[in-house]
Chains A and B, each alone.
Chain A
Amino acid sequence: MTTLIKFTIDYVTYVAKGGKQFYLWMGFLALFLIPWAYGNYQQFTQGMIVTGLTDQVSWGLYLANFVFLVGVAAGAVTVVFPAYVYKYEPLHKVTVLGEMLAIAAVVMCLLFVMSHMGRPERLWHMVPVIGIFNWPNSMLTWDTLVLTIYLLLNFVGGFYFLYQKYTGRPLNNSWYLPLIFVSIVWAISIHTITAFLINTMPARPMWHHGMMPIRFISTAFAAGPALIIIIFLIIRNKTALWIEDKAIDMLSTIVVACLTIALFLTMSEVVTELYHPTEHSGGLQYLMFGKHGLNNLVIWFWVSLIALIVGWVLLLIPKVRKNYTVLPFICAVLFAGIWVEKGMGLLIPGSIPTPIGEFTEYSPTLIEISNCLGNWAIGFLILTILLKGAIGILLGEVKQANE
């Protein structure tokens, strides 16, 4: 017990101390919390009327970010999977960083769910025993369940590893390894169920097809490692922790492979829906070409598609893939492209047209945007802290003092 307290104290002390750049970065992120606090206050007191959502398009930016971030959380498994299933040593050494990203991403998911709710103070209604948890009927309860468990798995797996490293004791593989393998499968499950959340509704034909889970996973497993590559390159640059080239190359290969599948699935969907466009392809038509003079999303669709195709072609070239000056920029473009693809390209047009055929546009308000930015900022604050602590322990800068 005393060791645990010492661990906590050492961890916190290490994390709180940093250079000028660290404080600048944290301060920059904290700036977003001012409009965020104001926006949340407005939304909580006045209601969701401060957002751009309507009865026609009642799911918007908040849920789009939620869906995307579940993908990022799941995408963290692209570090864990090669490390443990293929015993890929370069990634094995830094697996815990992937787990830290998963924790931060799930926390962001929870923040976005809270932003999306009309009555966040009633969240306890969902808690079993004191409330009603409509499981197994409601897909949202499945999603809550798998996300919570995924958070726990990564928290326990990540911090157990760090704690053992801190104390210098070996890992107890008899339960640690099973935990890791469960968390690998679990990562797939969280994004599958997020896809089920929206594709099990025949009322929304754009989502109502069996391709949705694999499409979700393929884009997530491109966006996740794209972000991790950027993070790894920053870590290499800014800290003493050296992440091997081989680790980064493995991740960029995963990005290309998953992006190939994602683009193929997009093409399949476009052909299937538009060869003989039915009423059910109204959403896709609106997204790609606009409908009845409404075309807010058209530019987003094409820019993101072009970004993804260009990024994909570039990453197919080994020379580009291994050029670490260019690579982070391509990864940033892909990350943003997939964010647009999941939000403006999938979640929002799913509500357009409405089930009775009405086309309406949705544009988020400033409050909505600043609340989203704030949620992201909190996520990155948490991520920075988690990564800094983990790196300190990996480097041996934080360890149990000899007694």
Chain B
Amino acid sequence: MPEEKIPVVDITGDPASAGNPIQQWNPVGTEDQAPASESRRGFLKKGAGLSAASLVGTAALVTGSDDAKANTSWAEHFQGAYRLMTDEEKQESISRLEQRYSKEYGKNVTVDGTDAQEGVLFGYALNIQKCIGCRRCVKACVQENNQTRGDEQEIEWIRVLKMEKGEFTQEKLNDGYPGDYGIQVGGNAYSAAGVVLEGEHYYEPEKVPEADSHYMPIACMQCEKPPCVKVCPVRTTYREPDGPVVVDYNWCIGCRMCIGACPYWARRFNWGEPKLPKEEMNPKTHYLGNRPRMKGVVEKCTFCIQRIRHGRYPACVEVCPVGARKFGNLLDPDSEVRRVLDRKRVFRLKAEVNTYPKFFYFTD
């Protein structure tokens, strides 16, 4: 089998420059684009329309008081848990947020409340053979999902682990110890090849992939048996019926039990007031997903709940230049993710902790 040619991508220069096939992720501009996956594969029927919610948002823009925060925060403070709200309460809470966000960010922000669709269980598969470590997924995710950015704190839901290919040499053969009692530790014992927990996620090369490395992106595994959900004292984080584990940011008390319980280091805390520049803010949000967060609450990957519930791919899937990321409905035998599970060799990360991730790794 001829070796597949993988594109080398310059990750330091302008992404749209010559020789670089990848366009930079622009969530703000995606509004008019038809969801690619929807027309092509139709793996999901489109959920309820957003028109009502959008109208409220527009109305808020027109009424115009500068002090959006002060106007809405009292009601927000005393609202209940989203999961237990009636449909009216949900709508009320959503319009309240739309008003506040629209004023705060100076654009028409929509907060989607679309529920899970029956017969859908979202799953993800990542081809570690293909990943080139360019971290386009990381950046697209930050822009799509309105994470905080800046010097104080940069939240990234995806981390790409750079894995060493290791170094096994003749010279190290006799470096083990203790020599006189027979070699008990071989000199090549500390080559980190294939050791996931030795992965480095701060690598900054000029070009990827680097010759001596391969890459293993991680993010929330959307476990079927999520330990983070079990430990939450107020059930602010829970598993949605279609799979993603979400956080009700307005209900979170910031105790960080879930951060302690997550075996994949997938959860992030807003240590300070989030910094999200107005012009970069993605106005198409979901209540349980990428709406702007507040300080003192936990957040995490939701598989881009604001996109997937409308038949679109998560941003990371769409942006991946090498097609390493596959996504779909685990209950549909014809979905991409099911085809991967059926035909490829797959494994789950840290399977020994029995959390049953819906995020699979595979090779060709």
A residues near B, CB below 8 A? 46-49, 51, 53-56, 58-59, 116-123, 125-126, 131-134, 137-141, 144, 198, 200-204, 279, 282, 351, 353-358
Contact = CB atoms under 8 A, between A and B. Distances in A.
Interface in B253-281: 253-257, 259-265, 267-273
List the 10 closest pairs (A to B, CB-CB), nearest first. Answer: A118-B254, A357-B197, A118-B296, A49-B272, A47-B295, A203-B263, A49-B271, A140-B233, A119-B254, A119-B296
Contacts of A118: 252-256, 269-270, 295-298
Given A47-B273, A125-B234, A203-B227, A198 B260 contact: yes
A395 to B, nearest CB: 43
B341 interface: no
Interface string B53-93: 00000000000000000000000010001001000000000
Contacts of B254: 48, 117-120, 122
Interface in B304-356: 353
A122 B251 contact: yes
Contacts of B81: 125, 131-132
Size class of B's contact patch? 35 or more
Contacts of B255: 116-118, 140
A119 B294 CA distance: 10
Given A55-B269, A58-B269, A118-B295, A357 B233 contact: no
Given A131-B234, A132-B81, A132-B234, A48 B271 contact: yes
A111 to B, nearest CB: 15
A138 B238 CA distance: 12
Contact of A58 (B253, B259, B264, B272): B259
Contacts of B267: 55
Contacts of A59: 256, 260
A34 B269 CA distance: 28
B120 interface: no
A137 B236 CA distance: 13
A118 B152 CA distance: 17
Contacts of B161: 356
B35 to A, nearest CB: 32
A49 B153 contact: yes
B270 A47 contact: yes
Interface string B190-234: 000001111101000000000000000010000000010011111
Contacts of A354: 265
A121 B268 CA distance: 20
Contacts of B196: 356-357
Contact of A48 (B159, B218, B296, B353): B296
A141 B199 CA distance: 35
Contact of B265 (A46, A126, A356): A356
A119 B76 CA distance: 14
B235 interface: yes
A204 B262 CA distance: 9
A144 B257 CA distance: 13
Contacts of A126: 233-234, 253
Nearest to B296: A118
The secondary structure that dominates the B interface is loop
A202 B263 contact: yes
B296 A356 contact: no
5 contacts: A49-B153, A49-B295, A117-B296, A202-B263, A354-B265
A343 to B, nearest CB: 16
Of the listed residues B197, B227, B273, the one surrounded by the most CB atoms of chain A closer than 10 A to its CB is B197
Nearest to A46: B272
B175 to A, nearest CB: 18
Nearest to A127: B234
B353 A202 contact: yes
Contacts of B77: 121
A279 B159 CA distance: 20
A137 B201 CA distance: 33
Interface string B134-169: 000000000000000000110000010100000000
A137 B230 contact: yes
B263 A355 contact: yes
A131 B77 CA distance: 13
Contacts of B253: 117-120, 122-123, 125-126
Contacts of A132: 81, 84, 234-236, 251
B197 to A, nearest CB: 3
A397 B218 CA distance: 67
A132 B196 CA distance: 38
A46 B195 CA distance: 39
Contacts of B231: 137-140, 200-201
Contacts of B273: 46-47
Given A46-B272, A55-B265, A132-B234, 5 more contacts: A118-B254, A118-B270, A126-B233, A138-B232, A202-B263
Contacts of A125: 81, 234, 236, 251, 253
A48 B81 CA distance: 23
B260 A140 contact: no
Contacts of A123: 253
A58 B257 CA distance: 9
A133 B233 contact: yes
Contact of A203 (B159, B198, B353): B353
Given A122-B251, A353-B197, A356-B265, A138 B257 contact: yes
A54 B267 CA distance: 12
Nearest to B268: A55
Contacts of A198: 260
A271 to B, nearest CB: 17
